[in-house]
Structure 1
Amino acid sequence: MNVYQVIETGQKIVPAEFNFFPEPIFSIVLCIAIAILIALLISGEIELCYMVGPIMLLIGFFLIFPTSLHDYHASTKQYDSDIEHWKKEIAMPYIHSLPVKKSEVIYIKIDPELGTDVMNIDPFYNLTNSKEVRRTPVVVSFKEEGEVTTTTDWLTTSMELSDGEKPYIEYQRLDRDLGHDVNAGIYNAKIHLPKSYTFTDIK
């Protein structure tokens, strides 16, 4: 599935709309009300007709509104479920299929003031069934196609390199927004550091 198909599939998922007149209850209540009013008009009970009309409207409201509200909540729940399914089964696999890039890290520091809300921007953070991955709050700059890219986020870090190896970052870049808060940017980033690396620059 290419990026256009992923976006198109996501666009088919639309938010629920509140419908005050659900079918078929509205049709049934309306038919009953019209039948009663016609019967009263034929019988000549004009005054009674004026009294019954507002009463029928109130009865119709109390019959229809709870059903409408229930249907709306059910539709909203289904919408959220569809979005979660799209992210997990379509958007996430697409991003995982993107080429993994490897770039040299030229600057890195720990940012202990970085709030956990930044990490939760990740649209897939709560969708993975794997064990929680330990992340580090960092500011990292790296070379990307001849330019310097800087990102501040909670990223996965690993200190498995030998002392002679230079730090580098692996990541996948999404070049365009997919919709439903899955935005263009860096995904699945992992910083590789030497075993003896020391964060000398801590914010």
Structure 2
Amino acid sequence: MRALIIVDMLNDFVDGLLANPRAHSIIAPLGRLLKHARANGWVVVFSNDAHQEGDPELRVWGAHAMAGSPGADVIPQLAPLDGEIVSPKRAYGAFDFTGLDEQLRERGVDEVVVAGQHTHICVRHTSYGALIRGYNITVARDAVCCFEGVNEDDALGYLKMAYAAHVTTVDELAGAPAAAPA
């Protein structure tokens, strides 16, 4: 069973306090992947920063995606549906102190498809968490992004080398989009 884990596609990371201009380029492919996952019965997870005062990450990035704030909400284009897992996190990795592993195991998941932000930080830490818990890892290269100035190919190469992640595309996972009528 596959699970799609969408990491940090939040208001604060797309257009808010820590906006990443590259995030806009992955919204459409992520939307296609999400639609495919839902249509094919994958477990869908939204792993979202939801910080509280005193979280160690705030020392690095300042206040962002504070629990209960609009900045910690998933962007409207990818809004979770009832029954999907919304997993708040207080550190980089989706599996760190969140109970996500137990929720996935209950649903028979053995492979995670990781997408979202940021390839070199939260996607990386989520992939590590998946590896040490025994999940197979797939990353759709066109549904993840780094910060400006960080080499995406290097970040993806690290996931392949260190975590045996299968790096592919949304088209390969979901099938090529239908051609527009002539």
Asked if these proteins are the same fold (TM beyond 0.5), I'd say no
TM superposition score normalised by structure 2: 0.22
Return the index of the structure with the highest Cα Rg: 1
Q: Which has the higher strand share?
A: 1
TM-score by length of 1: 0.21
